[in-house]
Structure 1
Amino acid sequence: MTSVTSVAPLTVLFVCTGNVHRSPLAERLLRARMPGVRAVSAGTFARPGAPMDTATRSVLEELGGDSAGFASTQLTAELVERSGLVLGLAREHREAAVRLAPLALRRTFTLREFLRLSDGTGVPGAAVRRGTLPAVPAAEDEVPDPWGQGYDALKDCGRDLDVLVKELVRAISPMVCE
């Protein structure tokens, strides 16, 4: 009899404030770009169960993502604890995740921070490098919130996130293919 070992896929949790624009876009773009990863999202002040914003859906679909079945989720300690990589879209989101699950510190970053620190070594390498590189201004670690700024700002945010997610795919591919 042959034994088959099943390896769970990497879970990447994206966190923003309302789970309305940034984190759903990042989640669904990663799902479209890297099906072997389990992408989820949550908000620090989300309205649980709310459907995807209509404008966000439009931007997502224009970028090749799928909005089907999306429902907003409140960030919880359990979500953070069950995720192999937690990526805030701003420093406040990274900090909120770590406050909920302090042991997740070594696998919790902002998206831009992770991309800056991960040099092909995945989460462990990024965690080690975190304290060895010079600090950057907060704006360099954050994806600006398009909330209340109109459709063009949301489209710009979506395009920026698409570029970042493509970089993320390259950064985490070695982790997924191990």
Structure 2
Amino acid sequence: MTSPAPAHRPEPPPLSILFVCTGNVCRSPFAEHLLRDRLPGSRVVSRGIFALEGSAMESQMAGELSARGVDPQGFRARQVSAADLGADLILTMSRRQRAYLLDEFPAAARRIRHIGHVPELARMASENPDSSLKEIISAWTRRAIPAGLDVPDPYGKDAAQAARTAALLTERVEQLVPVLRRGILAR
């Protein structure tokens, strides 16, 4: 007699991350493309609270992305909507953008955070190896965000500002990858 085949469990949907900035042409698309490259298997998108709908990524930030081995082609800016706020994790570039999303989409409050506060998330994840990513993110969203963590907007500024913004975002994304990878592996 043969034993019954094990029940097939459907694969959970991939982890979803939403990056939000103002125009969706500099910071959030840079972070989107970089994270998607560094974390295959995740769903990563970006949006703007006042998006320059249909615009390509700003040329200096596209150049910074290319310099990191990531292709910026094909991107088009999009406005954030309620449908986007179903992401597992929503990361803004500024406290003002976070406040806007919290006002407009309060139901997503436990998933909306500030990318500048990612080092705290990484610390919490390393200190709580037995907690799920969802539990860690939920606890993280209850922590106060210190001032001074905003990612500078390079739009309309010189190449040096674009390079500084790209370097900061690269650092934050690199800190985020192992934390998110933990969530993907646990699914």
With normalisation by structure 2, the TM-score equals 0.85
Q: Is 1:128 aligned to 2:132, yes or no?
A: no
C-alpha deviations, 1:114-145, integer Å up to 9, x for none? 431451153422432444x56522x13x1111
1:100 deviation in Å? 2.6
Bigger Cα displacement from structure 2, 45-54 vs 92-101: 92-101
1:103 aligns with 2:107: yes
Cα shift readout 1:42-77 (whole Å, capped 9, x = no counterpart): 111112111122222111110122213211011111
Letter in 2 for 1:125: I
Question: Equivalents in 2 of 1:126, 1:9: separation in Å?
Answer: 16
2: CA distance, partners of 1:162 / 1:135: 20
1:166 aligns with 174
Q: Is the 8 A contact 1:10 1:176 kept in 2?
A: yes
| Higher-Rg member (1/2) | 2
Q: Within the alignment, does 1:86 sit opposite 2:90 as a pair?
A: yes
Counterpart position of 2:25: 20
Q: In structure 1, what residue type is equivalent to 2:55?
A: A
Q: Distance in 1 between matches of 2:144 and 2:49?
A: 28
Q: Distance in 2 between matches of 1:31 and 1:53?
A: 18
Segments of structure 1 that go 5 or more residues without pairing to the other structure are none
CA distance in 1, matches of 2:70, 2:105: 30
**CA spacing shift, 1:66–1:148, aligned 2, 3 Å:** same
Could you say what secondary structure the match of 1:13 adopts? strand
* Distance in structure 2 (CA, Å) of the matches to 1:100 and 1:40: 19
CA spacing shift, 1:157–1:99, aligned 2, 3 Å: same
Deviation at 1:155, TM superposition (A): 1.2
Deviates most, 32-41 or 4-13? 4-13
Q: Secondary structure at the match of 1:39?
A: strand
Taking the aligned partners of 2:145 and 2:169, their CA distance within structure 1 comes to 22
In structure 2, stretches of 5+ residues that fail to align are: 126-130
Matches of 1:143 and 1:59, distance apart in 2: 15
Name the SS for the 1:177 alignment partner: helix
| Identical-pair percentage | 31
Specify which of 44, 56, 59 is matched with residue 49 of structure 2.
44
Number of equivalenced pairs: 174
Is this contact kept in 1: 2:113–2:141, CA < 8 A?
A: no
